[in-house]
Amino acid sequence: MDIDFSEEQQMIVDMTRGMLNEHSSIDVVREMEDDPKGYPDALWKQMSELGLNGLLIPESYGGGGQTLLEAALVYEELGRALASTPHFVSCVIGAGLLLEAGSDAQREEWLGTIASGDAILTLAWLEPDRGYSQVGVAMQAKSDGDGVVLSGVKRHVHFASSADRMIVLARGDAGVDLYLVDPNSDGVKLTHQLSQGSDCQYRVDFNEVRVPSSARIGAAGSGWTSFDKIMHDGIILLAAQAIGGADRTLLETVAYAKERVQFDKPLGAFQALAHYMADASTAIEGGRVLVHEAAWNRAQGRSISRLAPMAKLFCCEAYRETTRACAQIWGGVAFTIEYDCQLFFRRAKQLQLSWWDTPYLEERVAADVLDG
């Protein structure tokens, strides 16, 4: 039993943190807020050059061939920096789905360019007034000759304006299918939407969009199984991201609590406030181990059907609660735009609501524990 990083893993952490300090400072993060493109080119280029975009892609496709554990270390740093990048939708979900179910041709065409950052994939999954489960996918893929026709609306499509392809979840004759769709296709309309976390997301209207059968990823009707599997990988990384954000919020708040004097004492000398920070640190330290355990199990080829939802459920709540408690310590300045506390507070809640929210994760855990 050993929860320390290897030398190589520590190097990945140091390298990522150093690069993000330079290319994803708080000023950069603020510039990207509500931006219709949503990510800085310099940051994206650096991530590609350091091999972070290809981290999970096999070496044979030009990637780094690392495991989910190394990716979790990177995601804690991305969360710490509030880095605004399409990495998750492109390099984790997009590349993951192609690796899981893509044809040789699809992998050849996309994996190398995803790794190099030259191509960006995104995911068109959620629909208005529909949930996270399989029944939430209502968009019909109507067969038409040697292709399908897609009509409907998708929301929360991240970085859609920069994407070379969207992976669209739609219901075909055999069940849910995944299609690679060019956002520039006839009948696709993108509308930039503003979110709580000021990230880059779009509503995408599909009006009789024709795609060829060859654009389908995997066998007919297998889309949901592939998607569900890759989402388990994805939520472990988002849990790591949450821990990174929570940890930075706490550390910056601790530093403030040592300096800021009220009633002739530093804020940190008040037990009421010190105890908020002690609770937050306990949740963060435990959550981090849970993330690593989940990622490590995945890297060992073991089931993560229970650990992955637990990790996101716990870590996102820890992030939200840490930012709430820290806001109490910052006091009135916490809710001014000038101070950074609000950046983390908003993103914490948005992350909790996104990519499987609390009720859905609770149900996943309960199902695994009670119905298995």
265 binds another protein (CB under 8 A): yes
What token pair was written down for 348? Answer: 């914490």
371 binds another protein (CB under 8 A): yes
Query: Do residues 291 and 311 lie in contact, with contact meaning Cβ atoms separated by under 8 Å?
Result: yes
Query: Do residues 238 and 88 lie in contact, with contact meaning Cβ atoms separated by under 8 Å?
Result: yes
258 binds another protein (CB under 8 A): yes
- Rounded Cα distance between 276 and 286, Å, is 16
Among 243, 277, 334, 351, binds another protein (CB under 8 A): 277
Window 305-344: residues binding another protein (CB under 8 A)? 306-307, 310, 313-314
**Stretch touching another protein by CB under 8 A, among 144-152, 181-189, 200-208, 263-271:** 263-271
4 binds another protein (CB under 8 A): yes
What is the four-CA torsion angle of 75, 80, 83, 88, rounded to 10 degrees?
20
Q: Calculate the alpha carbon distances from 366 to 23, 45, 240, 305 in Å.
A: 41, 42, 22, 11
Distance of CA 123 to the CA centre of its chain: 11
Among 228, 293, 321, 357, binds another protein (CB under 8 A): 293
Residue closer to another protein by CB (options 229, 306) is 306
* String of contacts with another protein for each residue 12-51, x by CB under 8 A: ----------------------------------------
- Rounded Cα distance between 66 and 61, Å, is 13
Least distance to another protein from the beta carbon of 47, Å? 23
Residue closer to another protein by CB (options 39, 314) is 314
108 sits in which H/E element: helix 104-115
Q: Total number of residues binding another protein (CB under 8 A)?
A: 50
Least distance to another protein from the beta carbon of 289, Å? 4
Residue closer to another protein by CB (options 124, 235) is 235
Query: Do residues 26 and 57 lie in contact, with contact meaning Cβ atoms separated by under 8 Å?
Result: no
Query: Do residues 203 and 155 lie in contact, with contact meaning Cβ atoms separated by under 8 Å?
Result: yes
Residue closer to another protein by CB (options 67, 161) is 67
297 binds another protein (CB under 8 A): yes
For 177, the 3-state DSSP assignment is strand
- Burial code of 316-339, b = ≥16 C-beta within 10 A, e = fewer? bbbbbbbbbbbbebbeeebeeeee
254 binds another protein (CB under 8 A): yes
**Stretch touching another protein by CB under 8 A, among 58-66, 175-183, 213-221, 280-288:** 280-288
> Which residue reads 């330079």 in tokens?
22
Residue closer to another protein by CB (options 190, 299) is 299
**Amino acid letter, 192:** H
274 binds another protein (CB under 8 A): yes
Least distance to another protein from the beta carbon of 191, Å? 35
β partners of residue 191: 203
Least distance to another protein from the beta carbon of 367, Å? 8
Residue closer to another protein by CB (options 219, 278) is 278
Window 56-85: residues binding another protein (CB under 8 A)? 69
Among 21, 282, 303, 336, binds another protein (CB under 8 A): 282
DSSP 8-state assignment for residue 200 = -
CB-CB neighbours of 269 under 10 Å: 14
Residue closer to another protein by CB (options 6, 25) is 6
Distance of CA 370 to the CA centre of its chain: 28
Distance of CA 236 to the CA centre of its chain: 9
Q: Give me the residues that bind another protein (CB under 8 A), please.
A: 1-6, 9, 69, 250, 254, 257-258, 265-266, 268-271, 274-275, 277-279, 281-283, 285-287, 289-290, 292-293, 296-297, 306-307, 310, 313-314, 359, 361-363, 365-367, 369-371
